[in-house]
Amino acid sequence: MESRDQFESANQRARKIQASLPRALSAHYDRRIGRIFVHLNSKLDIAFSPHDAEGLENATPAQLDTIEVTPSGFGIHFPKLDADLYLPALLEGFFGSKKWMASRLGSIGGKSRSSAKVTAAKKNGSLGGRPKTKKTVA
């Protein structure tokens, strides 16, 4: 009996989510401007570069031509890449897993040229640069 109650509870939560969040109606890739467009049931369209989404960053235009929307409207599937994106996460600005997003943000931070970073690099250089690694002979 408990599993029936859990099943009904899960269905109620799903109905609540479906009523409160926008869902994708369709999606397509525009080769001319290199962006993926998602048309939502809220009459809003969103667009993003595939290079900003996990699993799509190295995709060719031919691989992006076919986009499927899941029956719930919360997922976007790229069959030629076997890649999926979750629409609620996209709407919150998350274009991949936490690990993937962290690696992207870390690489951007490493490229920064703040005055503090330049000063630290100059100071480190005047001290002879990075310390040499010791090679151990086994």
> What are the sequence ranges of the domains in the chain?
22-106
CATH class of 22-106: alpha beta
Q: Which strands sit side by side in the sheet containing 24-30, from one edge to the other?
A: 24-30, 35-40, 45-48
For residues 76 and 68, what is the distance between their CA atoms, to the nearest angstrom?
6
Tell me what pLDDT residue 109 has.
54
pLDDT at 94: 63
pLDDT at 74: 92
pLDDT reported for residue 99: 64
d(CA 100, CA 117): 25
Distance CA 22, CA 43 (A): 9
Selection from 29, 40, 24 nearest residue 79 by Cα: 29
The CA angle 89-94-98, to the nearest 5 degrees, is: 110
Q: For residue 120, which amino acid is it? A: A
pLDDT < 50 stretches in the chain: none
**pLDDT at site 17:** 76
| 3-state SS, one letter per residue, for the chain | CHHHHHHHHHHHHHHHHHHHCCCEEEEEEECCCCEEEEEECCCCEEEECHHHCCCCCCCCHHHHCCCEECCCCCEEEECCCCEEEEHHHHHCCCCCCHHHHHHHHHHHHHCCCCHHHHHHHHHHHHCCCCCCCCCCCC
Q: What is the pLDDT of residue 61?
A: 96
